[in-house]
Amino acid sequence: MAFCSSLLSAKLPFIKLFLLLATIMRGGVGQSYTSVFIFGDSLADTGNIFFLDPSFHSLFPPYGEAYFHHPTGRCCNGRIITDFIAESLGFPLVRPYLGMTNITSIEEGVNFAVVGATALDAAFFEERGIDNLVTNCSLRVQLEWFKQILPSLCNTSSKCNEKFERSLFHMGEIGGNDYNYPFFLLRSIEEIKTFVPLVITAMASAIKELIDLGAVTFMVPGNIPSGCSPAYLTYYETADKEEYDPETGCLTWLNKFSEYHNEELQKELTRIQTLYPHTNIIYADYYNAAMRLYRSPTQYGFTGGTLTACCGGGGPYNYNASAECGQSPLIRACDDPSQYVSWDGMHLTEAAYRLITNAILEETYVHHSTS
Q: Which residues are catalytic?
A: 42, 344, 347
**Can you tell me the distance from the alpha carbon of 12 to that of 15, in angstroms, rounded to the nearest whole number?**
10
Question: What 3-state DSSP class applies to 38?
Answer: strand
Three-point CA angle 14, 16, 20, nearest 5°? 105
Cross-strand bridge partners of residue 280: 217
Question: What 3-state DSSP class applies to 44?
Answer: coil
Cβ pair 290, 262 in contact under 8 A: no
Q: How many residues does this entry show for the chain?
A: 371
**Can you tell me the distance from the alpha carbon of 320 to that of 122, in angstroms, rounded to the nearest whole number?**
25
Cross-strand bridge partners of residue 251: 244
**Can you tell me the distance from the alpha carbon of 333 to that of 344, in angstroms, rounded to the nearest whole number?**
9
**Can you tell me the distance from the alpha carbon of 230 to that of 211, in angstroms, rounded to the nearest whole number?**
37
Residue 106 φ then ψ, to 5°: -125, 20
**Can you tell me the distance from the alpha carbon of 245 to that of 242, in angstroms, rounded to the nearest whole number?**
8
Closest Cα partner for 223 from 168, 282, 289?
Answer: 289
